[in-house]
Structure 1
């Protein structure tokens, strides 16, 4: 079972068939990954990364879509000899506080960019400028409502038993 980890493994979709092949008949495989790489929160990370004085430092750091959709994982597991069910769910997170989407993605999709910028500029100035630009765009994409900021978070699941 893997829970929100495969998206961090480069080319995991190429590795999965080997891993699945090594599993014995009758065994189960279950996974879930975030499927929000096309959402504004993640598209804006890539857009901001491509602009400004940090663009060269962030070139090649962010992957556009490191995961498949549900149909892609269904096909991958089925091709490996698994009877598979796959689905997608979008959770609507109600976030509170100032710049809550920025706070959320700091612990997820923004991590590679922040780590790279921190290493490139230990004074933190480039990281702060990048985050300020990104936060302003996030506020437009995810306006705050009377009860907080709604953040749709899509997840992709697949579960299969090896035939």
Structure 2
């Protein structure tokens, strides 16, 4: 799946806030090695380096386009092109394993999360944030639009994916490897500007696998169908802005 850093960064500030909220709950004063798993354009990676200035900070992502943008911004961090699942199998030991809005793209969390905890050094921290908004209109309408045209056979299976489990699921995965676990959910109310901005928001993330799977008239038709339904579900307010409630799941696990 190809990523477009410009589209993803269109809502940089609301996407950054959950990362800062997650980072604020990490109470580890010192770290030798910090990994940002699924670092994207590196904006959070650079903040991690600012907080743990003496640490070796590494950003890991599977998108060459995202890492090119990250490297263009500089900063005293290193970047590695690989996917999170491969790194979980062969990465070294880290004091802080941080992942913001990345692991929901991967299946097999029942094996992935214990592997990630294996990478955390004793006394270290695994800190993860994932969107948990797949039952909201922004995503259910995606499934409706995917089933509403000649593209249905191709797109309906992609739109039916619900990758993130309930908090108790992750507690059960992490508890055997943790001395302390903090799991919580937050629903942000994003105030967006522009014409039908929820479409622009999802084009940078959840809509990408579907748009990559079709082209030509199907791509145009599917996007128009989705946009029409989204406009009705998220109408602009009296001041012209659009409200997007967005639920996210957080977890901070301290290695025993």
User: How high is the TM-score relative to the length of structure 1?
Assistant: 0.89
CA distance in 1, matches of 2:179, 2:201: 34
Q: Verify: 1:12 aligned to 2:104, yes or no.
A: no
Structure 1 runs, 4 residues or longer, greater than 3 Å off: none
After TM superposition, give the deviation of residue 51 of structure 1 in Å.
2.6
Query: Please, which of 219, 222, 230 is the counterpart of residue 127 of structure 1?
Result: 219
**8 Å Cα contact 1:46/1:64 also seen in 2:** no
CA distance in 2, matches of 1:48, 1:85: 37
After TM superposition, give the deviation of residue 107 of structure 1 in Å.
0.4
**8 Å Cα contact 2:143/2:156 also seen in 1:** no
Q: How many residues are aligned here?
A: 158
Partner of 1:39: 136
1:147-158 mapped onto 2 (5 Å cutoff): 147=239, 148-158=241-251
Q: Secondary structure at the match of 1:26?
A: strand
Partner of 2:72: none
Q: Verify: 1:68 aligned to 2:168, yes or no.
A: no
Q: Verify: 1:143 aligned to 2:246, yes or no.
A: no
Task: Give structure 2 stretches of 5+ with no counterpart.
Answer: 1-97
Query: Relative to 1, partners in 2 of residues 1:82 and 1:21: Cα closer, same or farther, differing over 3 Å?
Result: farther
Query: Relative to 1, partners in 2 of residues 1:47 and 1:82: Cα closer, same or farther, differing over 3 Å?
Result: farther
Task: Give structure 1 stretches of 5+ with no counterpart.
Answer: 119-123
Q: Verify: 1:81 aligned to 2:178, yes or no.
A: yes
CA distance in 1, matches of 2:123, 2:160: 34
After TM superposition, give the deviation of residue 53 of structure 1 in Å.
0.4
Partner of 2:194: 97
User: How high is the TM-score relative to the length of structure 2?
Assistant: 0.58
